Structure 1
Amino acid sequence: MTDAARRRANLFARRSWAETSRISAILRKETVGGALLLAGALLALVWSNSPWSEGYRALRDLRLGPASLHLDLSMATWAADGLLAIFFFVAGLELKREFVAGDLRDPRRAAVPVAAAAGGVVVPAVLYLLIAGGAGAKGWAIPTATDIAFALAVLAVVGRFLPSALRTFLLTLAVVDDLLAIVIIAVFYTAHLSVVPLLGALVPLAIFAVLVQRRVRSWWLLLPLAAVTWALVHASGVHATVAGILLAFTVPVIRSQAAGGPDAGPGLAEHFEHRFRPISAGVAVPVFAFLSAGVTIGGIAGLATALTDRVALGIVVGLVVGKPVGIMTATWLVSRFTRADLDEGLNWLDVLGLALLGGIGFTVSLLIGELAFGLGSERDGHVKVAVLAGSLLAATVATVILRARGRLYRRLYEAETVDRDHDGVPDIYQRESDRPTG
Structure 2
Amino acid sequence: MRVSSVLAAAPPDPTLEASFGRDPWWLIGGKVLAVFVFLVVTVLLTMWIERRVIGRMQLRVGPNRAGPFGLLQGLADGVKLALKEDIVPRNVDKVVFILAPIMSAVPAFISFIIIPFGPTVSIFGHHTPLQGTDLPVAVLLVLAMSSMGVYGIVLAGWSSMSPYSLLGGLRSSAQVISYEIAMGLSFVAVFLFAGSMSTTEIVNAQADRWFVLLLLPSFVIYVVTMMGESNRIPFDLPEGEGELVGGFHTEYSSLKFAMFFLAEYINLATLSALATTLFLGGWRAPAPITMVWEGANTGWWPVLWFIAKMGLFIFFFIWLRGSLPRVRYDQLMKLGWKVLMPVSLGWIMLVATVRALQLEGYDMRQIMLYGAVAAGVVLIATILWETMRGDGDAAKEIVPGAGSGSGTGTGEAAPAFPVPPMDAPHYHGRSAQASQPVTTTREEVGSGTH
Do they fold alike, i.e. is TM over 0.5?
Answer: no
> TM-score range, shorter-chain basis?
under 0.3
Larger Rg: 1 or 2? 2
The structure richer in helix per residue is 1
Does 1 or 2 have the higher relative contact order (CA < 8 Å, sep 6+)?
A: 1
TM-score, normalised on structure 2?
A: 0.25
